[in-house]
Amino acid sequence: MEKVRIGLIGCGGRSNSHRDSFLKMDDVQVVAVADPIEERRLAAAKQFGAERIYRDYNELYDNETKETLDAVVICIEPTAHASSETRAVELGIPFLVEKPVNLDLEQARQIAKKVEETGLITSVGFQDRYLNLMDMIKEELPKHKKGGLVYGAWVGGIPGVWWWQKKSTCGGQLVEQNIHLADCLRYLFGEPLSVYATCSTGMVKPGVDASEEYDTDDHSTAVIRFPNNVTATLVSGCYSKDIRPNCGLVITLDDMIIDYRLRNNLIFKTGNYTYDVDRERIDHTFYLDKAFVQAVKTGDASGIRSNYQDALKTHELVFAANQSMESGQVIYF
């Protein structure tokens, strides 16, 4: 395969980051694009020189096969997925899909099952896993006594996309945004044992601070138990304005504090020293995309750090937290 031929599904905000990656890769050609918004699909087609332009993913799948496309990259809003991944599996076309992969967890489970059965190459947009900083945390943890407290935060404002205003269309901040840190927790500490979560509204005024239809949580807190005596508290907030978002993980071990400042830097602190590491792989989405392209080219998916089946487990965690917010009950896995 000389160039990996990609079909881009969804040409909105997030697709721009993938576009930047693909334009830097000599071995990738985006040959087809799909988006119901004409202006977006035409702009994307122009940027890539793509000649096959479709109004939505169904039109794309009706006209493409695995002989014409080597992979698809799916960047659509959380409620638009429906059969976007299922059709890729049926056609045998590898896909990279953005989180959250689906707001219908049952549908996501069915897709994961089909992906598993067919052995299709898949990847999900958890780019933190590809950072050198995450590698360093993973290397450091086994050097210390097991156990400890982890504080994770993603606190900022409300993203500009229309579908973020309602919990029914974005899944809530934990599902749509802080899912990145929930995934880091699983990547670092293994599978969760239980989650309890609570949330609050009333700080963000619909029609004043957000659109009239705003009904998502202003902030939430999830307490997640992991094996080996690790307890994580994950806070999410979208009520703050005019401040730099406060995002990252602070891991307090018996003799060290590891402070991961989301996609930015990492600080190791002990009683005697403080060691600050800058990110190396600044362009995190590039490394996510590169691993996927490499897997499609070679058939060896070992460089992919989050495939669909693995990502499903992170989705199950954040959906369970949502369930706990509603019921007030601890959810055990």
Q: Which residues bind ligand NAD (CB under 6 A)?
A: 9-15, 34-37, 40, 56-57, 75-78, 80, 98-100, 125, 127, 161, 176
**Closest distance to ligand NAD from the beta carbon of 3 (Å):** 23
**Closest distance to ligand NAD from the beta carbon of 139 (Å):** 24
**Closest distance to ligand NAD from the beta carbon of 256 (Å):** 28
Nearer to ligand NAD by Cβ, of 130 and 226: the residue is 130
**Closest distance to ligand NAD from the beta carbon of 136 (Å):** 21
Nearer to ligand NAD by Cβ, of 13 and 299: the residue is 13
Task: Give the residue nearest to ligand NAD (CB).
Answer: 12
**Closest distance to ligand NAD from the beta carbon of 100 (Å):** 6
Of the candidates 119, 154, 137, 238, the one whose C-alpha atom is nearest the C-alpha of residue 189 is 137
Nearer to ligand NAD by Cβ, of 103 and 256: the residue is 103
Nearer to ligand NAD by Cβ, of 58 and 252: the residue is 58
Nearer to ligand NAD by Cβ, of 54 and 189: the residue is 54
